[in-house]
Every structure is written in C-alpha cells, then in structure tokens.
C-alpha cells in the first residue's frame, strides 16, 4: 500500500494507523456494516474474480472513484473507508443495486459448477502449482514482473476452465520495491509494508480455529510459517508467511521482501516455498496428482517428496524415491542464460539442510550436491536449482519454441549419454496471457456485440474467433482504440505532473502536462525490466536520426517508457538516467515520457492504449515475453526483434519484425547491435510511420486498421493463457 494520510480517512479505525509499529495484526475480518442490499460487495471483495470483469471493477469504483484510486484499487481498503453517505446513496440507487444483483448472479453461477476432471487430474487429486511470485492484481503486491504475471494468468485461466488446481507461494510483507526517480534521473527504491489484514487474504485455520502452521528447520532452528488464502475465482492460492510470533525476529523477515536479499535469504525463502509448501498441502489434506514447479525456485519440494517417500518405506532406497518423485513432478524453466538460474554456494546448502534431513534422503552430503551440479564431479560448482529440477522431474519445458531449443542446448551437459541437443528431453509450451484481464473494456464491448457475451470462450476456436472479428467494422475498431489511447494520454498527463520539479534535467519532470501528448500522434510504448539484454539504448544509438523521426512536423512520433532496474544493477540505473537526461533543447522532452513504477496497473494502461509496442532484445535471450501479446489483443501492433513468442506470432501482416532470423554466431555483438538499430530505424521510417499516417477518403488509416484486425484475429487465440493451460494439461500434466 502507498502511504495514505490518515486525515483523508476520517472513519478509519484506530488499529489501521499506518504509523503503527505493530508487527502482528490479528484484526482481519474487519467487517464494515454494509446496507442490506449491498452485502454482496463484502463477498465479492474476498475473491479476485471481480478484477478480470469490467463490471466487477466498476461496482467498486463507482462507490467512490477518487477513493478507489487513492487506495490503489483495493476493495478491502475501499469498503473499510468509504463514507457512509456514499454507501447509502448507492443503496438507494436502483440502477446500481440492479447491476450488483446481476453481478452477484454471475458470481454465483461461476462458483456453483463443480470442477471438471482431466484424466487423472480430479478434484480429489489436483495439480499443485508452485511459484515464487504471483501477479494476480495490484492489490496483492507479491510479484515483480513477467514470471508473476504469468503465474497469475495461469491461475485465472485454470479457474475459467474449471481445472482442479491449487497454487502455493509466499506472502511478502514488503513485496517488491516501488520505483521513484530523483531529480537527477537516478532510480530510488522504496518498500511499503502491506498488512495482510488490508488485503483480500484470509487466514488458514485448522479444525480448532487456530492458525495452521508448518514447521521447517532453518538456520539450526525450527521456523514456523502461517498460511493465507487468496481466492482467484475457483482457484485457491495459499501463501506462506514467516511473520509469526513463534519465530525469532530475524526469521520473521524470511518472507519479508521479494528478490530483495542475498543468496542466503533466497535459499531460506526457497526452502519455505518448496518444503514448507508440501507440508502445508499435507496439513490441508490435499494429495496432488502432479506438482508443477514454475521456475526452479520451488525445486526443493522434490527433496521433501523424497524424504516422505523414504520415511514411509523402510526398504526403499534413494533411487526408488527418485523414480516415484519424478513421476509426480514437472518443471518449467524461464531463463535462457545459465547465469540467470538460481545457484547457491555449497556452504549455504550445508547450512540450510542439516545432517538429519540429508540422511533421511538416504544419500551423502556429496550426493546431494551432485544433484544440483551440471557436472556432478566438478566439486567447485555451486548448487543449481535448475539441474536439481531437471533431474527430479519427469518433464521439463521452456516457454516458447525458440526457448525450448535454447534450453536443450543450455542443459545438454546434464545428459552425458546424449550427444545432440535435439535429443535433450526439454520441450516447450509457449506462454500466453489472460484475455479478460488484459483486453480493454472498450474492446470487450465490441467483442460482446459482434462475437457474443461469451467471446472469451469463442476464443478457444480460432476459426470461430476469426469469423467473429471479421464482422467488426473498421471504424468500430479504430474508435475503440482511440478511446483507450485517450485514456492512456490522460494517465500520462496525470502521472508526469509534478509540482515539485528539480533541475528540469530529466524528461520526467514537468509542471504543466495538460497538453502533453496527442491522440493523433503515433504512440510507441516500450516498457520492460531495465536489463542489458533488453537493449534500452538501441533506439538511442543514432540520436540525430531519432530526433528527426520524433520531430517530423507532419508525421511525428511519441514514445512512452516504463520499467524498473534491479536495485543492485548500477549499469541499468545509469542507462535509465541517460535516457531521462537526453538533450533538453530538443523536442525529445515533448515527445517522450517515462512512467515511474511499472506495475500491473501501469502495464494495463500501456498495453491497451499504445499504437505500437517495441521490443528489441538481444537474440535469443527473450525466453518468451508476454507484454506484446497483451498489446495484440487490444489491436496494437508489435514492432519487435524476431525472438521469443514473436517468432511464432509474426506472419508478415500482424505487426513488424526488426532484423531477420539469422544465425548470429559469427558476428560480434557490436555488429549485431548496429544491424538491428539500422533495421529498427528503417522500419520505423519506411513502414510503421507511413502506414500509420496514410488516411483513406473517410479519414481512417485503413491499411493500419487492416493490420490491427489481422493481429486481433491471428494472435489473440494463439497467445491466450487458456490455450497455454490447455497445452499444459494435454502435453505435460497428464
């Protein structure tokens, strides 16, 4: 939560004071007295179902739009603080009450159907999905970026498809950092304390009404974790949290920050996630048919399953356990570079797993280390979570076709008996995104009109989807797009307005933003983590040429940027500072903005409102990428290097490809960068800009709209997370 000044909340209860030093709070279940006919809002606030339905969002926003923004779209905080007068006005507003009633029926219908079975996946034996972060909605701030958003979308599609699945993660009290840009363009980080009691998290209790605690040995002590439950439609997401009175001060902070600490913090977090996660499922009586390790962070769960197996079978040995555990577990890797995978020094593994635990696996310490090495005999190698995961699961996959290929090459050395990368048993499932979450309400409205109320289900049938989208007239598509583009521009004006400007050195400081950006100008978005391989500076490689492009009087271009640098990545912060400090005298200051604190909310405005989404990663380092998929579902055109998902998505008409698909091995990095920059400028100058500004006799850019339509038709079904979850069920889980 952003700090909210207490003055603004006159009816705030005393325990909510943000200055409170309290570590533990047991004031969950605050229950606002709601008017009888608005009671359903309380139920709704406990399930993130509302967040992927425009009508659900509106029911909360309409109560008090200003407060809704102020409390950052958190229904729990809204309901707690909304003024009585507003509640009673809504209770007397027949339109509002009718809308609420209709939505309550939709909610009841959705939740009344019982889960389906998919082969061996049944309500009794569900899939257990493990991930270190979940990006469900901004009001549950326990994600940092792509991996979390993907996990959130996975749960939403599993919910919509009525798939028996439970999810396990960690509750990070301080979440991930908030980004602020100082007057000199330097990124600063801020963590805010989010109290579980203000989030839509319910404490998980045992049959005696007490907190369910799991115990894990860490740092030579017994460490306890309590569990919270978040409802994601029909899906239960359990989050472990070590901030409990039973723990030492320092252990309470184990789940404090997401990716905030050193490797020691990470290893203990991962122990809580993997081992604590399995123990929690046991306490809940959940017996999964398959465990999905989404990224290697949770790979320790394989060791816990091994320990359990051997504990129950006196005569079994480690090899027996491995064949059992492998059968139960599947693994998805998300990183195409060796260095990006989690690695721990052996001393930390030794500290983390005491002798008792290791001997319960019926192996020696050295044998444990071997499980985490690419070359088991190389005693200098650290312990890698990906080698462990690959060894102890029956299936491993990358997240796009290209990434599958790259992963087979990368992990070939784990398979001494295999000589050809092609034969490495790593497959792929290309990532996708949850359409109802990412498609703008204005597009959902035209989808409903031309395709039907159940457009999101029609999406499962590419031919039916095509037939539906083809019926939408060009001007309707254009108008829906312009509507969200205007919204993006207002958002930009609001976010970049600053009464307290500093040196006027950065493009980020403006006093008067009321005329900033125009809906008639081609708008290009670029938002992603600031990391070297994403090549933030590719666009700036020929500044003169760039300024000529943005300043062209008849056909100008405006850019909107957003993204965070890892707190310890100085090089990335310098890059950002450089971008923000570009020549003050040029028009760049009028044509480019940087939005602070890229998160799911900022992403939504961007992917829905831009005309073009640019992506220029160094090949083949973009494992998949998903932000461009969100753009495509909103009629935006991708302008991207052929890497990750775009290799599969690009068809020559539904966007633009930078560079060519070539084997880059022989060329130097500088040569490749120079070629890609040249290609980027050229495509902008000769294709993107002329096509965007070419208007037909009715004043519409008809060729551009034709491409938008092509993107909507071809990319939406293929890159929806419904398709992704279906693929996981058919090709991986069963």
Ligand X SMILES: *Cc1c(COP(=O)(O)O)cnc(C)c1O
Residues in contact with ligand X by CB under 6 A are: 145-146, 149, 528, 598-600, 603, 625-628, 630
Q: Which is nearer to ligand X, 231 or 608 (CB)?
A: 608
C-alpha distance from residue 603 to each of 22, 432, 527, 562 (Å): 33, 16, 8, 9
Q: Among candidates 122, 109, 117, which has minimal Cα distance to 49? A: 109
Place of tokens 């978005």: 525
Q: Tokens for 331?
A: 């693994």
Provide, rounded to whole angstroms, the least separation between the CB of residue 584 and ligand X: 29
Q: Which is nearer to ligand X, 276 or 628 (CB)?
A: 628
Place of tokens 């504990």: 311
Provide, rounded to whole angstroms, the least separation between the CB of residue 298 and ligand X: 20
| Burial class of residue 416 (count of CB atoms within 10 Å of its CB; 0-12, 13-18, 19+) | exposed
User: 195, 167 in Cβ contact below 8 A?
Assistant: no
Q: Which is nearer to ligand X, 271 or 528 (CB)?
A: 528
Q: Which is nearer to ligand X, 577 or 615 (CB)?
A: 615
Provide, rounded to whole angstroms, the least separation between the CB of residue 525 and ligand X: 11
Classify residue 137 as left (phi > 0), alpha (psi -120 to 50) or beta.
beta
Phi, psi of 503 (to 5 degrees): -80, 0
Q: Tokens for 693?
A: 């500004």
Say which residues have a Cβ less than 8 Å from residue 136's Cβ, sequence separation at least 6. Answer: 48, 51, 143, 152, 155, 156, 230, 232, 237
Provide, rounded to whole angstroms, the least separation between the CB of residue 606 and ligand X: 9
Provide, rounded to whole angstroms, the least separation between the CB of residue 705 and ligand X: 24
User: 530, 575 in Cβ contact below 8 A?
Assistant: yes
**β pairing state of 235-241 and 165-170:** parallel
Q: Which is nearer to ligand X, 212 or 615 (CB)?
A: 615
Provide, rounded to whole angstroms, the least separation between the CB of residue 721 and ligand X: 11
Provide, rounded to whole angstroms, the least separation between the CB of residue 206 and ligand X: 36
Say which residues have a Cβ less than 8 Å from residue 249's Cβ, sequence separation at least 6. Answer: none
C-alpha distance from residue 368 to each of 212, 358, 373 (Å): 30, 8, 9
Q: How far apart are CA 40 and CA 46, in angstroms?
A: 10
Count each helix (H run) and each strand (E run) in the chain, helices first.
Answer: 32, 20
Q: How far apart are CA 361 and CA 323, in angstroms?
A: 14
Provide, rounded to whole angstroms, the least separation between the CB of residue 528 and ligand X: 4
| Burial class of residue 353 (count of CB atoms within 10 Å of its CB; 0-12, 13-18, 19+) | buried
Q: Which is nearer to ligand X, 80 or 535 (CB)?
A: 535
Provide, rounded to whole angstroms, the least separation between the CB of residue 564 and ligand X: 9
Say which residues have a Cβ less than 8 Å from residue 296's Cβ, sequence separation at least 6. Answer: 331, 333, 341, 342, 384, 385, 386, 388, 389
Q: Which is nearer to ligand X, 458 or 647 (CB)?
A: 647
What is the Cβ-side half-sphere exposure of residue 517, based on CA atoms within 13 angstroms? Answer: 28
Helices 543-551 & 669-683 angle (0-180, nearest 10): 20
Q: Which is nearer to ligand X, 368 or 603 (CB)?
A: 603
Provide, rounded to whole angstroms, the least separation between the CB of residue 688 and ligand X: 19
Q: Which is nearer to ligand X, 280 or 572 (CB)?
A: 572
Provide, rounded to whole angstroms, the least separation between the CB of residue 648 and ligand X: 14
Q: Which is nearer to ligand X, 510 or 564 (CB)?
A: 564
Q: Which is nearer to ligand X, 223 or 606 (CB)?
A: 606
Q: Which is nearer to ligand X, 166 or 399 (CB)?
A: 399
Provide, rounded to whole angstroms, the least separation between the CB of residue 603 and ligand X: 3
Q: Report helix, strand or coil for 603.
A: helix
Q: Tokens for 92?
A: 């007397």
Provide, rounded to whole angstroms, the least separation between the CB of residue 521 and ligand X: 24
Provide, rounded to whole angstroms, the least separation between the CB of residue 135 and ligand X: 7
Q: How far apart are CA 218 and CA 20, in angstroms?
A: 29
Strands (E), 140-234: 165-170, 178-181, 187-190, 202-203, 213-218, 221-232
Q: Tokens for 25?
A: 């709070």
Q: Tokens for 371?
A: 């499980």
Provide, rounded to whole angstroms, the least separation between the CB of residue 132 and ligand X: 15
Q: How far apart are CA 391 and CA 369, in angstroms?
A: 12
Q: Which is nearer to ligand X, 179 or 302 (CB)?
A: 179
Q: Tokens for 666?
A: 């022989």
Q: Which is nearer to ligand X, 278 or 433 (CB)?
A: 433
Torsion, Cα of 566, 571, 572, 573 (10° steps): 90
- Within 10 Å of residue 464's Cβ, how many Cβ atoms? 15
Length in residues, the chain: 734
Radius of gyration of the chain (CA): 26
Q: Which is nearer to ligand X, 226 or 600 (CB)?
A: 600
Q: Among candidates 715, 682, 720, 688, which has minimal Cα distance to 704? A: 688
Say which residues have a Cβ less than 8 Å from residue 728's Cβ, sequence separation at least 6. Answer: 292, 429
Q: Which is nearer to ligand X, 236 or 624 (CB)?
A: 624
Strands (E), 348-403: 383-384, 395-398
Q: How far apart are CA 118 and CA 98, in angstroms?
A: 37
Provide, rounded to whole angstroms, the least separation between the CB of residue 152 and ligand X: 9
Provide, rounded to whole angstroms, the least separation between the CB of residue 148 and ligand X: 8
Q: Which is nearer to ligand X, 387 or 525 (CB)?
A: 525
């Amino acid at each position: 939560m952003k700090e909210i000044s207490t003055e603004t909340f006159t009816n705030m209860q005393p325990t909510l004071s943000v200055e409170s030093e309290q570590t533990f709070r047991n004031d969950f279940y605050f229950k606002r007295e709601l008017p009888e006919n608005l009671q359903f809002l309380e139920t709704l606030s406990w399930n993130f179902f509302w967040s992927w339905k425009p009508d659900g969002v509106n029911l909360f926003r309409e109560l008090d739009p200003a407060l809704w923004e102020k409390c950052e779209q958190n229904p729990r905080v809204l309901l707690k603080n909304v003024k009585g007068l507003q509640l009673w006005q809504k209770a007397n507003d027949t339109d509002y009450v009718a809308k609420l009633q209709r939505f309550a029926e939709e909610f009841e219908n959705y939740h009344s159907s019982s889960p389906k079975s998919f082969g061996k996946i049944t309500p009794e034996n569900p899939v257990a999905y493990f991930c270190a972060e979940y990006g469900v909605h901004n009001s549950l701030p326990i994600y940092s970026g792509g991996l979390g958003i993907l996990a959130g979308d996975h749960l939403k599609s599993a919910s919509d498809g009525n798939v028996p699945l439970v999810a396990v993660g960690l509750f990070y009290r301080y979440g991930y950092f908030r980004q602020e840009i100082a007057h000199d363009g330097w990124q600063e980080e801020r963590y805010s304390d989010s109290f579980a009691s203000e989030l839509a998290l319910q404490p998980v209790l045992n049959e005696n009404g007490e907190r369910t605690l799991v115990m894990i040995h860490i740092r030579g002590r017994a460490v306890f974790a309590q569990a919270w439950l978040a409802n994601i439609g029909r899906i239960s997401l359990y989050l472990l949290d070590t901030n409990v009175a039973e723990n030492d001060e320092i252990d309470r902070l184990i789940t404090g920050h997401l990716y905030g600490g050193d490797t020691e913090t990470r290893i203990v977090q991962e122990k809580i996630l993997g081992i604590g996660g399995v123990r929690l499922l046991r306490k809940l009586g959940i017996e999964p048919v398959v465990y999905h390790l989404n990224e290697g962070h949770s790979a320790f769960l394989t060791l816990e399953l091994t320990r359990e197996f051997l504990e129950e079978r006196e005569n079994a040995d480690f090899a027996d356990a491995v064949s059992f555990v492998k059968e139960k577990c599947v693994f998805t890797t998300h990183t195409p570079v060796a260095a990006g995978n989690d690695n721990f020094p052996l001393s930390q593994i030794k500290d983390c797993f005491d002798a008792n635990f290791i001997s319960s696996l019926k192996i020696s310490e050295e044998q444990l280390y071997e499980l985490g090495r690419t070359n088991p005999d190389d005693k200098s190698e650290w312990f890698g979570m990906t080698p462990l995961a690959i060894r102890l699961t029956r299936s491993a996959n990358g997240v796009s076709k290209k990434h599958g290929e790259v992963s087979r090459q990368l992990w070939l050395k784990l398979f001494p008996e295999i000589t050809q990368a092609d034969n490495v048993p790593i497959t792929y499932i290309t990532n996708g995104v949850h359409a109802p979450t990412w498609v703008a309400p204005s597009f959902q409205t035209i989808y409903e009109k031309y395709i039907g109320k159940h457009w999101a289900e029609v999406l499962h049938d590419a031919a039916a989807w095509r037939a539906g989208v083809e019926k939408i007239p060009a001007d309707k598509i254009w108008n829906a797009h312009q509507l969200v583009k205007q919204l993006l521009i207002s958002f930009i004006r609001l976010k970049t307005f600053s009464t307290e400007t500093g040196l006027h050195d950065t493009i980020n400081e403006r006093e008067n933003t009321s005329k900033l950006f125009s809906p008639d100008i081609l708008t290009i978005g670029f938002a992603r983590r600031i990391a070297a391989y994403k090549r933030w500076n590719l666009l700036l490689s020929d500044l003169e040429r760039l300024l000529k492009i943005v300043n062209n009087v008849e056909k100008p271009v405006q850019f909107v940027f957003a993204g965070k640098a890892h707190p310890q990545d100085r090089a990335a912060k310098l890059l950002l500072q450089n971008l923000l400090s570009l020549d003050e005298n040029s028009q760049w200051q009028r044509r480019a903005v940087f939005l602070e604190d890229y998160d799911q909310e900022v992403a939504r405005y961007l992917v829905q409102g831009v005309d073009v989404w640019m992506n220029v990663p160094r090949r083949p380092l973009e494992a998949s990428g998903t932000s461009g998929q969100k753009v495509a579902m909103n009629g935006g055109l991708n302008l991207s290097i052929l890497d990750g998902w775009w290799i599969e998505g690009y068809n020559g008409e539904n966007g633009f490809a930078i560079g060519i698909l070539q084997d880059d091995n022989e060329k130097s990095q500088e040569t490749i960068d120079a070629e890609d920059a040249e290609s980027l400028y050229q495509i902008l100058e000769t294709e993107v800009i002329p096509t965007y500004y070419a208007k037909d006799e009715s004043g519409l850019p008809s060729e551009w709209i034709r491409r938008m339509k092509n993107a909507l038709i071809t990319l939406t079904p293929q890159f929806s997370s419904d398709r992704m979850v279906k693929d996981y069920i058919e090709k991986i889980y069963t």
